[in-house]
């Protein structure tokens, strides 16, 4: 299968679904990553947005090697992502580029604005992937992918419907999160807890809930005719 993860910022994918991607990869599936923003406002140390974007994209590419993933950067502004004809075209093109069987993305009810808009865009575009008349840089696809929303930081207002046991990949997940060196420093200015540790606490909580050591939780997208196939999760 082709598996596509669509994140709002470099680090979202590693924090919320990297264990699941590692399981897909171990089973021989192909991994694609798309980033709606390059997190270009995410530093008080690096002087310009262009340099922050370049730093964070480089970090994302290092993380992507963990799953042998192909990466597509859409490069909209950090904290400035909106639902517009331009963002719709770019996200639609990214989904078609990956020709996915499964899509993982931020939940639209996340209070982080870029997370919410990313999840909303992906969900809203699900019914337009096969249509010739929808603006896109990539031809329509014939698959009807299953879409799953990943967790929210600290597990706030997120009740998983499905859990993926990532116990065998927990160490690798922590090391992939730590490839986002600049973000770890930036988050360290706001939060008491270490960036990677906070994500692993959440994975441990989802493991506790599901009877495993470490897990990642998901909620399926459901609309008539396009209910996510939960059997496609690893």
The Cβ-side half-sphere exposure at 33, using a 13 Å CA radius, reads 30
Burial-class residue 139 by CB neighbours within 10 Å (0-12, 13-18, 19+). Answer: exposed
Stretch that binds Zn ion, among 6-14, 73-81, 138-146, 226-234 (CB under 5 A): 6-14
Q: Rounded to whole angstroms, how far apart are CA atoms 129 and 156? A: 31
Q: Determine the residue with CB nearest Zn ion.
A: 9
Rank residues 12 and 59 by Cβ distance to Zn ion and give the closer one.
12
Q: Rounded to whole angstroms, how far apart are CA atoms 24 and 17? A: 11
135: left (phi over 0), alpha (psi -120 to 50) or beta: beta
Interaction of residue 12 with Zn ion, rule CB under 5 A: yes
Interaction of residue 9 with Zn ion, rule CB under 5 A: yes
Rank residues 9 and 92 by Cβ distance to Zn ion and give the closer one.
9
Q: Rounded to whole angstroms, how far apart are CA atoms 198 and 77? A: 25
Rank residues 9 and 120 by Cβ distance to Zn ion and give the closer one.
9
Q: How far is the CB of 161 from Zn ion (least distance, A)?
A: 22
Q: How far is the CB of 153 from Zn ion (least distance, A)?
A: 8
Stretch that binds Zn ion, among 7-15, 70-78, 88-96, 166-174 (CB under 5 A): 7-15
**Residues within the interface to Zn ion (CB under 5 A):** 8-9, 12
């Amino acid at each position: 299968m082709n598996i596509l993860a669509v994140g709002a910022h470099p680090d979202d994918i590693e924090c919320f679904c990297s264990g699941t991607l590692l399981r897909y990869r171990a089973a021989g599936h192909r991994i694609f990553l798309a980033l709606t923003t390059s997190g270009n406002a995410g530093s008080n140390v690096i002087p310009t947005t262009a340099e922050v974007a370049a730093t964070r994209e480089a970090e994302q590419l290092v993380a992507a090697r963990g799953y042998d993933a192909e990466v597509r950067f859409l490069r909209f502004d950090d904290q400035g992502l909106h639902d517009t004809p331009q963002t719709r075209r770019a996200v639609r093109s990214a989904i078609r580029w990956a020709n996915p069987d499964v899509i993982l993305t931020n939940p639209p009810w996340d209070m982080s604005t870029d997370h919410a808009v990313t999840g909303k865009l992906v969900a809203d575009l699900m019914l337009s992937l096969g249509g010739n008349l929808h603006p896109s840089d990539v031809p329509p696809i014939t698959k009807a992918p299953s879409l799953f929303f990943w967790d929210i930081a600290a597990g706030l207002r997120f009740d998983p419907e499905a859990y993926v046991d990532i116990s065998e990949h927990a160490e690798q997940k922590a090391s992939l999160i730590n490839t986002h060196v600049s973000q770890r420093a930036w988050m360290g200015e706001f939060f008491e807890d270490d960036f990677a540790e906070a994500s692993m606490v959440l994975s441990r909580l989802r493991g506790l809930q599901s009877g495993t050591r470490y897990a990642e939780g998901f909620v399926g997208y459901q609309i008539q005719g396009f209910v996510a196939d939960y059997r496609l999760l690893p």
